[in-house]
A and B are shown apart, each in its own frame.
Chain A
Amino acid sequence: MSNILSVLIFFPLIAGVFGFFVNKNSIRVYGIVVAAAEFLLSLWLWMSFDTTDAGMQFVEKISLIPEFGISYYLGVDGISLFIVILSTLMTLLGIVALSIKEDLKNMIITLLFLEVAMIGVFVSLDVILFYIFWEFSLVPMLYIIGAWGGPKKLYAAIKFFIYTFAGSLVMLVGILYLAYIYHATTGVWSFSLTDWYGLLLPTDVQTILFWAFFLGFAIKVPMFPFHTWLPYAHGQAPTVGSVILAAVLLKMGSYGFVRFSLPLFPDASVAFILPIAILAIIMIIYTAMVAYAQKDMKQVIAYSSISHMGVIILGTFAMNVEGISGSIFQMLSHGIVSGALFMLVGVIYDRRHTKLMSEFGGLAKVMPTYATIFVVMTMASVGLPLTIGFIGEYLSLAGFFKVSPIMTILAGTSIIVGAVYMLSVVKKSFFGPLANPENEKLKDLDSKELWALVPLVAIVIWLGVYPKPVLEPIDNSTKALVQLMHKKAQTDKAKKIILVSKDAKEAK
């Protein structure tokens, strides 16, 4: 099935439309079945994926607007493959764990549409197509936050929408400029990424474009100081919204850096390692501190996301295979771990309708399974070896160490400060005496929640112990990417810093 990517995109779309005709009482099962089918399709994609091939696979290209070089151009490589699977998985688990009673139908349909946008973003090879999905993903998320969110939901939803929208508009100008340059150089209009990869840009143009794209991606990631929409969005979003936001939507930004900024503007990327690394380090340390100061459990996780994204950004800008592979792996790991953590917060929120840690304490006694899974996820979050969290973090930091040891040490404090805020959450919520009488009768996880969480626990450990099936395709594609960057690099500095791996060198 060579058009599996189209199927992946359009299946949830059609299923979402059909969802309108499904009876309200049966919609949950419908949602689960559709999401599961989609997940299985994505697994099939993985199964039929040739892991030795570093290039784009399952490529589909249909010209949409030939006049302007816009086409329906899809493809997947090791870098995007697993983020696609992550998207389908998190959607499935999000639907499984849904605890919303009100307007469930709308929620499930919205989630399916969101899934379309997410997958679309990661498999688009045409930049305009990418942009369409990128922007469109905001809409369902806006609805999810705005319709099912907390008391300040409207503020949060609109802030989320406008902030990210503003950033991506600047990116759009960048995209158009790049297309113009492509047109000016080759005489034809094209928005396919693979065509653009062949473009050698002067460094000053690269600089302008780099920052234009940067703004779009940085707000999405979100990088300091563009991060303030995130705590609101997470704080107000319903559980499933937070799960998907943290697990997938944030990855769009970091994916953008890998897919666009690095290969298109290698010289500029190298030239701006320093400022970006500084921002990343601020993200890591500063937001970790902010996370530590939070009183709301969900806000802690929200800020921790920013902190972790800092590591991802740092890894991306390591300009070597180790760092970039690591950062991509860390995207997956953060997706799974923070997704799970948000689900866990959702569990307690469903029971107590509060997320304030001061309301809890001693929960481990009444909800031991819950506490166990929370601790597993905490440990993954703080990057314990043999959990999924370690590998990405380790590789990212290791990669960046080549660029700057000092900054890596600063960034490495993430393993300390991360432990500080996560353990303090665990201590405040789960340990200590069961002081609040309201907590005494709490029920442990029910089967629905277990079905959603246990697979994540399994993945956390499986990929922590044996990441190879995932890391290998990522690594292959990253090697090709770095090689491309090295080939394209014009400045000596970039040539020096972009580090092609040895076996790739030998292969050459």
Chain B
Amino acid sequence: MENLVYIALFAPLVSSLFAALFAQKPKIQLVGIVTSILIGISLLASVTLLLDIHESGKAVSVTLMDWIQAGDMDIKFGFTVDQVTAVMMSVVTLVSTVVHVYSNYYMESDKSFNRFFSYLSAFVFSMMVLVMSDNFLGLFIGWEGVGVCSWLLIGFWYERKDETRDVNPSISPSWAANEAFIMNRIADLGMLVGIFMIYWNLGTVKYSEVFAHLDQLSHGMLVGIGIALFIGAMGKSAQFPLHTWLADAMEGPTPVSALIHAATMVTAGVYLVIRANPLYSQIPEVGYFIAVVGTFVAIFAASMALVNRDLKRVIAYSTLSQLGYMFAAAGLGAYWVALFHLAAHAFFKALLFIGAGNVMHAMHDELDMFKMGGLKKQMGWTFFYMGLASLALSGIYPLAGFFSKDTILEVAFNEHTYGIWFTLWLTAGLTAFYSFRQVFLVFFGDERYHEIGAHPHEAKAYALWAMAPLAILAVIFGFYKEDFVEFVTKLLPAYEMSEHTHHMVWILTLVTTAIALTGIIVAFIKYSKGLKRDLNFEQNNKLYKLLYNQYYIPVLYEKAFAKPYKELSDIAWQEIDMQVVDATVDGIAKAVETTGDVSRRAQNGNLSTYLKWMAAGLIFVTLITVISVVIK
């Protein structure tokens, strides 16, 4: 068993190092193949572990070696594969495998093909460390590791130059990469603080020991730890107000978006909350706060997706919105529900992104949906996949999204948090609308792509085949809900609906489905026949502009943080460091020298002056004695 753990963990690392060997060489197809196979091996190992744990019900723990030992701190590289981990591992490796295979197609003409695979596999490794670690600091390794890989991958096309926000809202890949990294770092500080609190209060950072001794801590301390860890989660999962990086992260190659910014990395925050469920279940008020934040992000992000024209950004906002759902569930104590939605979302959202990748290829990297349309003809399969994924996203029976999202709404209802329920319900409608707005704009209507001279074509067969597993899972995953619940609740607290909710389930489901359908229908009416732009509306409607400009938050951040920081830095350097601190030092030196220069004037070469000074010296010495007598 332990070997499987190591295989699952290190196969991606080997894969990454292998690819790194050729990082500076021109494309070698073998690299793509080998890495895909190695990730596939990791997938096999993960699934085997999953099944094994399913059978045995026992977690597998291994300790690789010592890491940090200082004072009373003893941190080892330890890995535990339990139910939650196994699910996460399987999801991660599955999506990773698909994305690796797909990337062979997507990146086929990129000159940094090998480098890309190196980064991508490194990401998988980091993600595996993140989910498999048995302690908070190990999690933090993965946490930062995925951050770096994300930075590398967002900035993959580093050579592109900076644009203004009007031309490219993300400015440039390298800019977006830095933004992502720094925003994550802000949150990581919170996480680090949480870890410090845990260490100094419990003397360990190992999950099992920490959770076993939580009762030793005061409530206030628990709240503190809970909030600190959640701040960490907010960064990685791009929750408000640290959300802006996610949309900008779409500058990375599309497979990256599929893997990192949809299926895996961004869900790390949710994973953390789920993992720390013994903690959060003791502090429901923090949980409620998390739920509220999640709910807010859900509708907030969905609203931005309504009007955006950028194919990938829409999906990014949708991801954000779905992450909100997950947090809502986790916050309300329904950890398995959150995990279930996490997995389901990973499948259909990755599918959606990969589909978007196909479209981009066809459109020569054009992302503006207003310049597409009618692609259904040329790209039947892609249309099929994306449509399927959109349906899943909208929560239409019998697709995976239906089960997961519906359960979240039920939980919200069950907790009597009707506000949350209502908001999420409304968001479901919005979700359906923007998903299908996208589908219709891209695949239906008039063929606007001629204007940009694109010659759309379907993706290669193996790429399409690679998408199949995701599509299949997006369809069938929902039916495994019962098994899933049974499996994970061995570890996570079982969440039981109250009697009342049980009675209401049917009504709730109907209501939810209804609003989803409404969304789809509205989208159909508005966009299936082609694009009719109301320029006046686009230019003058305040709400439209607000949404289109992402509530002006990026601009606000630019103005409120980035620019002042830059200016303050300049002041710190030019005004304070140079003019005050250094000038003081130089001033002292200067003063000494000036004093010397002045006093040498007494030495004017004239003997008479010298004699006078000597006589004055007598008086000076007398004065000193007199003064010292007087003072005494």
Seen from chain A, the residues whose Cβ lies within 8 Å of a Cβ on chain B are 159, 162-163, 224-225, 227-229, 286, 289-290, 292-294, 320-322, 325-326, 329, 362, 364-365, 368-369, 372, 379, 382, 384-386, 390-391, 394-395, 397-399, 401-402, 405, 408-409, 412-413, 415-416, 419-420, 423-424, 427, 430-435, 465-468, 471-472, 474-475, 478-479, 499, 501-503
Q: Contact: B72 with A322, CB < 8 Å?
A: yes
Most buried by B among A228, A365, A409: A228
Residues of A near B65 (CB, < 8 A) are 466, 468
Report the minimal beta-carbon distance from B3 to chain A, rounded to whole angstroms.
21
* Contact residues of B between 165 and 209, Cβ < 8 Å to A: 172-175, 178, 181-182, 185-186, 188-189, 192-193, 195-197, 199-200
The reply on B615 being an interface residue by CB < 8 A is no
- Asked, given contacts A293-B569, A325-B70, A432-B162, whether A228 binds B193 with beta carbons under 8 Å apart, the answer is no
| Interchain residue pairs with CB less than 8 A apart (5) | A289-B568, A413-B189, A433-B160, A468-B65, A501-B71
Contacts of A369 in B (CB 8 A): 24
Minimal beta-carbon separation of A365 from chain B (angstroms)? 6
Residues A416 and B182 in contact, CB atoms below 8 Å apart: yes
Which B residues, 63 to 115, have Cβ-Cβ distances below 8 Å to chain A? 65-73
Give the chain B neighbours of A289 by CB distance below 8 A. 565, 568-569, 572-573
**From B583, which residue of chain A is reached at the shortest CB distance?**
A228
Q: Which residues of A contact B566 (CB under 8 A)?
A: 292-293
A292 and chain B: residue at smallest CB distance = B569
CB-defined contacts of A419 to chain B, threshold 8 Å: 181-182, 185
Contact of A432 with B172 at beta-carbon distance under 8 Å, contacts A225-B581, A286-B572, A415-B189 already known: yes
The reply to whether B192 and A395 form a contact with Cβ atoms under 8 Å apart is: no
Q: Are A290 and B569 in contact (CB under 8 A)?
A: yes
In the bound assembly, the distance between CA atoms of A382 and B182 in angstroms comes to: 11
Closest 3 CB pairs of A and B: A321-B71, A431-B174, A293-B569
Q: Which of A224, A294, A325, A416 is in CB contact (< 8 Å) with B71?
A: A325
Q: Does B215 belong to the interface (CB within 8 Å)?
A: no
Q: Considering the complex, give the chain B residue whose CB is closest to the CB of A467.
A: B68
* Among A163, A415, A430, A503, residue most surrounded by chain B Cβ atoms (within 10 Å): A415
Bound complex: CA of A413 vs CA of B186, how far in Å? 8
Residues of B near A399 (CB, < 8 A) are 71
Cβ-based interface call for B158 (8 A): yes
Instruction: Classify the secondary structure of B's interface with A.
Output: helix
Known: A423-B181, A479-B71. A432 touches B188 (CB 8 A): no
B residues in contact with A503, CB < 8 Å: 72
With contact pairs A289-B569, A394-B192 given, residues A501 and B72 touching in the complex (Cβ less than 8 Å): yes
Residues of A within 8 A of B403 (CB): none
B285 neighbours in A (Cβ, 8 Å): none
CA–CA, A163 to B582, complex, Å?
12
Residue contact B193 to A405, C-beta cutoff 8 Å:
yes
Q: How far is A475 from B160 in the complex, measured between Cα atoms in Å?
A: 47
A394 to B192: give the CA distance in the assembly, Å.
Answer: 8
- Evaluate contact between A163 and B585: CB separation under 8 angstroms: yes
Of the listed stretches B32-40, B140-148, B255-263, B307-315, chain A binds: B140-148
Set B71, B137, B569, B584: member contacting A320, Cβ < 8 A: B71
B269 to chain A, nearest CB (A): 18
Query: Is B189 touching A409 in the complex (CB atoms < 8 A)?
Result: yes
Interchain CB contact under 8 A, B572 and A293: yes
Given A325-B70, A326-B70, A401-B200: A385 in contact with B140 (beta carbons within 8 A): yes
| Chain B residues with a Cβ under 8 A of chain A | 23-24, 65-73, 137, 140-141, 144-145, 148, 151, 155, 158-162, 172-175, 178, 181-182, 185-186, 188-189, 192-193, 195-197, 199-200, 565-566, 568-570, 572-574, 576-577, 581-582, 584-585, 589
Q: What separation, in Å, do the CA atoms of A33 and B161 have in the docked complex?
A: 46
Output the least CB separation between A173 and chain B (Å). 19
Q: Which of B69, B174, B199, B574 meets A475, CB within 8 Å?
A: B69
In the complex, besides A384-B144, A391-B68, 11 extra interface pairs with C-beta distance below 8 angstroms are: A289-B568, A321-B71, A321-B72, A382-B185, A385-B145, A390-B144, A412-B189, A412-B192, A466-B67, A467-B68, A471-B69
The CA-CA distance from A405 to B225 in the complex, in Å, is 12
Select from chain A the residue with minimum beta-carbon distance to B141. A385
Expressed in whole angstroms, the Cα–Cα distance for A244 and B192 within the complex equals 32
Question: What's the Cα separation between A368 and B572 when bound, in Å?
Answer: 34
Contact A292 B565 (CB under 8 A): yes
Shortest Cβ gap from A357 to chain B (Å): 13
- Whole-angstrom distance between the Cβ of B571 and the nearest chain A Cβ: 8
Classify the interface of chain A: helix, strand, loop or mixed.
Answer: helix
Q: Are B585 and A431 in contact (CB under 8 A)?
A: no
Residue from B148, B162, B185, B197 with most neighbouring chain A CB atoms (10 Å): B185
Give Cα A394–Cα B68 distance, bound, in whole angstroms: 10
Smallest CB–CB gap between A75 and chain B, Å?
23
In whole angstroms, what is the CA distance A452 to B159 when docked? 28
Q: Which residue of A lies closest to B200 (CB)?
A: A402
Closest-by-CB residue of B relative to A402 is B200
Cα(A90)–Cα(B465), bound, Å:
54
Closest A residue by C-beta to B172:
A432
Residues of B within 8 A of A159 (CB): 585
Contact A502 B72 (CB under 8 A): yes
Residues from chain B with Cβ under 8 Å of A292 in the complex: 565-566, 569
Contacts of A397 in B (CB 8 A): 192, 196
B73 adjacent to A362 (CB under 8 Å): no
Once the chains bind, are B155 and A398 in contact (CB under 8 Å)? no
What residues of chain A lie closer than 8 Å to B137, measured between beta carbons?
A: 385, 394
Residues of A within 8 A of B72 (CB): 321-322, 501-503
Asked if B144 contacts A395 (CB within 8 A), the reply is no
Q: Which residues of chain B come closer than 8 Å to A433, judged between CB atoms?
A: 159-161
Specify which chain B residues have a CB less than 8 angstroms from the CB of A162 in the assembled complex.
589
Query: Hey, which chain B residues are within 8 Å of A412, CB to CB?
Result: 189, 192-193
**Residue from the list A321, A364, A402, A408 in contact with B70, Cβ < 8 A:** A321
Min CB distance B160 to A, Å, is 7
Contact of A395 with B568 in the complex, beta carbons under 8 Å: no
- Output the residue of A384, A432, A465 with the most chain B CB within 10 A: A432
Residues of B within 8 A of A329 (CB): 70
CA–CA, A225 and B586, complex, Å = 13
Given A322-B73, A415-B188, A471-B68, A408 and B160 touching (CB < 8 A)?
Answer: no
How many angstroms between the C-alpha atoms of A197 and B162 in the bound complex? 59
Residue of A nearest to B143 (CB): A385
Shortest beta-carbon distance from A87 to chain B in Å: 23
Residue of B nearest to A294 (CB): B573
- Bound: A365/B181 CA distance, A: 22
Of the candidates B151, B158, B200, B573, the one whose C-beta lies within 8 Å of that of A364 is B158
- Among B144, B155, B589, which residue has the most Cβ atoms of chain A within 10 A? B144
| Distance between A121 CB and nearest chain B CB, rounded to angstroms | 24
CA distance A293 to B577 in the complex (A): 11
CA distance A72 to B70 in the complex (A): 32
Residues of A within 8 A of B185 (CB): 382, 415-416, 419
Which one of A401, A424, A432, A435 contacts B196 once the chains associate, using CB atoms below 8 Å? Answer: A401
Q: Which of B23, B141, B189, B573 has the most CB of A within 10 A?
A: B573
Q: For B195, B197, B585, which residue has the most chain A Cβ atoms within 10 angstroms?
A: B585
A181 to B172, CA, bound (A): 65
In the complex, what distance in Å separates the CA atom of A435 from the CA atom of B159? 10
Q: CB-CB < 8 A to B175: which residues of A?
A: 427
Q: Would you give the shortest CB distance from B174 to chain A, in whole angstroms?
A: 4
Which residues of the partner chain B approach A402 to less than 8 Å between Cβ atoms? 200
Partner of A416, one of B69, B151, B186, B197: B186
* Min C-beta distance of B137 to chain A, whole Å: 8
A170 to chain B, nearest CB (A): 14
Chain A residue at smallest Cβ distance from B570: A293
State how many angstroms separate the Cβ of B323 from the closest Cβ of chain A: 22
CB distance from A169 to the nearest CB of B (A): 15
Selected from B141, B178, B193, B589, the residue in CB contact (under 8 A) with A423 is B178
Contact of A293 among B68, B188, B574, B585 (CB under 8 A): B574
Q: Which residue of B lies closest to A318 (CB)?
A: B71
Which B residue sits closest to A225, measured CB to CB? B581
A163, A286, A329 — which one has the most chain B CB atoms within 10 A of its CB? A286
